[in-house]
């Protein structure tokens, strides 16, 4: 895509600023284009003038959608894909080298899927209302289109399908739960005053976990002239981002370890199985412009459900919330096998 040219390909003198280049790059992660595209943005010169060039690589898992619609070319015009056209696009999807969360879980069957939840809760958020109203697809077709089951005719649930809308995901994915401990002290050997395991669909796990954390979160109220001021002991935004990231980026294969959240008297530790993935390593972890996804389909599903709102910024939002709350900076322990985030409470 060329920015700064007219239809015949002549430069129009558009200022190619850093802000424009960043805006073009942000199209990748604003959540409108799914799956996330692989693209690069560069400033080039043509006929002595600056232009912006956006290069988009072919998708490995088509079809791609924009705001819930799949667009295709029909001769010289654009159109929204019909059910049969979408099926053809799905058949072009690569059969091999799929990410784990797109592979089938052959211990499960279609009956293990909560189709009612999928239709009433997930599809209504994933697909634009006008497209949904004109859509005559069956429930099975919709499950395939949203990659909740395989398209090879077996109707086997995918890992993402079980995590998002499985009836009992942990029966098939043993590590799919969050373990919470409240310890009255500062060491694991101190007394445990509360322990709970949260399991179920990804939305249930997130909601139940945040309800527990909110119940323990302390808010100090200071009475001032003309009003009051509330001070959080633990920034809620930071907890939301770190819990969502732990669910989204954790490893779901080769381990039975859950995400662990341990609430001590002076800190909270959030432990996620699975270290950095892809472009992210122990050296660049948490730095701007370094983001990758072990569970890309799960990440997209969590965005649809409103559990994440934009990709690639969760850690920065958590760090900003902690800094604004006057809490010591988040401590990170990053290894090839796990990531541990520690949030310290406000120290009076």
| Domain at 328, CATH number | 3.30.565.60
> Do 184 and 126 sit in the same domain of this protein?
no
Is residue 63 included in any domain, yes or no?
A: no
At 76 the pLDDT is: 76
> Do 203 and 108 sit in the same domain of this protein?
no
Question: How far is 62 from 89, CA to CA, in rounded Å?
Answer: 7
Q: 311 falls in which pLDDT band (50, 70, 90)?
A: confident
Q: Tell me what the mean pLDDT of segment 77-87 comes to.
A: 77
Cβ-contact 335, 282 below 8 angstroms: yes
pLDDT at 58 over 80: no
Which region among 11-25, 94-108, 230-244 has the lowest average model confidence (pLDDT)? Answer: 94-108
Q: Which of 132, 153, 171 is the C-terminal boundary of a domain?
A: 171
Is residue 80 included in any domain, yes or no?
A: no
Averaged confidence pLDDT in the chain: 86
Most confident of 19-33, 35-49, 90-104, 189-203: 189-203
> What is the 8-class DSSP label of residue 265?
S
User: Residue 245's domain spans which residues?
Assistant: 177-344
Q: Which of 118, 141, 171 is the C-terminal boundary of a domain?
A: 171
Q: Tell me what the mean pLDDT of segment 93-97 comes to.
A: 51
Question: How far is 139 from 123, CA to CA, in rounded Å?
Answer: 10
The better pLDDT of the pair 233, 225 is held by 233
> Do 199 and 137 sit in the same domain of this protein?
no
Is residue 88 included in any domain, yes or no?
A: no
At 277 the pLDDT is: 86
> Do 154 and 258 sit in the same domain of this protein?
no
The string of DSSP codes covering 58-90 is PPSSPPPEETTB-EEEETTEEEE--HHHHHHHH
Q: Tell me what the mean pLDDT of segment 171-178 comes to.
A: 96
Is residue 62 included in any domain, yes or no?
A: no
> Do 196 and 241 sit in the same domain of this protein?
yes
At 84 the pLDDT is: 66
pLDDT at 188 over 70: yes
> Do 211 and 129 sit in the same domain of this protein?
no
> Do 165 and 235 sit in the same domain of this protein?
no
> Do 156 and 205 sit in the same domain of this protein?
no
The string of DSSP codes covering 144-171 is HHTTSB-SSSS-PBBHHHHHHHBSSGGG
Is residue 68 included in any domain, yes or no?
A: no
> Do 193 and 283 sit in the same domain of this protein?
yes
> Do 222 and 320 sit in the same domain of this protein?
yes
Q: Which of 138, 171, 204 is the C-terminal boundary of a domain?
A: 171
pLDDT tens by residue, 226-250: 665 555 678 889 999 999 999 999 9
Is residue 79 included in any domain, yes or no?
A: no
pLDDT tens by residue, 111-154: 999 999 999 999 988 887 777 777 778 889 889 988 999 988 88
The structure tokens listed for 315 are 């850690």
Total domains present in the chain: 3
Single out the residue of 170, 113, 106 nearest to residue 144, CA to CA: 113
> Do 325 and 207 sit in the same domain of this protein?
yes
> Do 214 and 249 sit in the same domain of this protein?
yes
At 348 the pLDDT is: 40
Q: 167 falls in which pLDDT band (50, 70, 90)?
A: very high
């Amino acid at each position: 895509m060329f920015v700064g040219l007219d239809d015949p390909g002549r430069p129009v003198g558009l200022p190619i600023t850093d802000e424009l280049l960043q805006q073009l790059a942000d199209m990748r992660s604003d959540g409108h284009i799914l799956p996330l595209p692989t693209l690069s943005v560069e400033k080039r010169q043509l006929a002595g003038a600056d232009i912006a060039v956006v290069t988009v690589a072919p998708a490995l898992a088509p079809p791609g959608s924009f705001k819930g619609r799949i667009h295709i070319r029909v001769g010289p015009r654009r159109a929204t894909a019909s059910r049969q056209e979408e099926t053809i696009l799905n058949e072009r999807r690569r059969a091999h080298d799929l990410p784990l969360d797109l592979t089938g879980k052959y211990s499960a069957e279609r009956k293990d899927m909560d189709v009612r939840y999928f239709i009433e809760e997930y599809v209504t958020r994933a697909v634009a209302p006008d497209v949904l109203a004109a859509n005559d697809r069956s429930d099975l077709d919709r499950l395939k289109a949203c990659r909740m089951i395989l398209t090879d005719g077996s109707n086997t649930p995918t890992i993402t399908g079980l995590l998002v809308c499985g009836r009992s995901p942990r029966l098939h994915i043993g590590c799919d739960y969050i373990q919470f401990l409240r310890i009255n002290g500062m060491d694991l050997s101190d007394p445990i005053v509360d322990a709970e395991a949260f399991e179920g669909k990804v939305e249930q796990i997130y909601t139940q976990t945040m309800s527990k954390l909110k119940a323990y979160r302390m808010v100090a109220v200071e009475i001032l002239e003309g009003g009051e001021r509330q001070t959080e002991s633990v920034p809620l935004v930071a907890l939301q981002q770190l819990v969502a990231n732990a669910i989204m980026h954790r490893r779901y294969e080769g381990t039975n370890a859950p995400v662990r959240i341990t609430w001590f008297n002076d800190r909270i530790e959030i432990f996620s199985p699975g270290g950095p993935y892809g472009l992210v390593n122990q050296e660049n972890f948490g730095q701007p412009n370094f983001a990758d996804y072990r569970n890309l389909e799960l990440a997209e599903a969590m965005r649809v459900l409103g559990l994440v709102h934009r990709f690639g910024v969760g850690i920065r939002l958590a760090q900003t919330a902690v800094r604004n709350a006057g809490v010591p900076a988040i401590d990170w322990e990053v290894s090839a096998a796990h990531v541990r985030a520690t949030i310290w409470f406000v120290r009076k």
